[in-house]
Chain A
Amino acid sequence: DQQVKQNSPSLSVQEGRISILNCDYTNSMFDYFLWYKKYPAEGPTFLISISSIKDKNEDGRFTVFLNKSAKHLSLHIVPSQPGDSAVYFCAASARSWGKLQFGAGTQVVVTP
């Protein structure tokens, strides 16, 4: 039962442009959403999160948008840099549960 979906397995973007990653979820009990970045042979690194009481959270080059009615969130990276090339995972949880449900990930490649 895939409750968190990332429908784009890969994304290629030019350096300096915007990267937009999308994520959909089905469980209305989710109230906390996170994005993680993963390089090969490393564990996921926390990037940014958003609570369901907000619709936007910004941290430097990273902004996460949450549309609760559509059960959709997105991550914007502006401007994209070569070091951003990695796999990005969307994750969701109900904070009272503790467990995270992950999407399958999106491979981002930033080209010069």
Chain B
Amino acid sequence: ETGVTQSPTHLIKTRGQQVTLRCSSQSGHNTVSWYQQALGQGPQFIFQYYREEENGRGNFPPRFSGLQFPNYSSELNVNALELDDSALYLCASSLDRGGLTDTQYFGPGTRLTVL
């Protein structure tokens, strides 16, 4: 069984640029959630994708967007990067059983630094 993978591991961008982070879900899972973890804090929910559609969103601006593909992998896109976007971005996959989400399993994360 393959776990959740994310790429790249680390990324450095400058303010105003755009970034795309990628996630491959665990085999058998159909739902992907993205979280942002700032230093010293717990992960904050960005959004969740199920059946290639956004299925819930946290308190993040529209410049945070995502995609889910037919193979259940996902991308997180952030436009117009700001210094405060520097964080660890975590992807989690899970199995949605008729509207009830099972345990979420996390990938290793992508460390984004915005200069």
Contacts and interface: CB of A to CB of B under 8 A. Distances in A.
B61 interface: no
A98 B106 contact: no
A99 B109 contact: no
Interface residues of A, number: 24
Contacts, number: 65
Given A89-B42, A99-B45, A104-B41, A42 B103 contact: no
Interface residues of B, number: 30
B68 interface: no
Interface string B86-115: 000010101010011101111111000000
A22 to B, nearest CB: 15
B99 A100 contact: no
Main secondary structure of the interface of B (DSSP, over half): strand
Interface in B34-66: 35, 40-45, 48, 50, 55-56, 58
A101 B45 contact: yes
Main secondary structure of the interface of A (DSSP, over half): loop
Given A42-B108, A98-B56, A98-B96, A49 B45 contact: no
Contacts of A93: 101
Residue among B35, B48, B101 facing the most chain A CB atoms (10 A cut-off): B101
A2 to B, nearest CB: 9
B48 A99 contact: yes
B101 A95 contact: yes
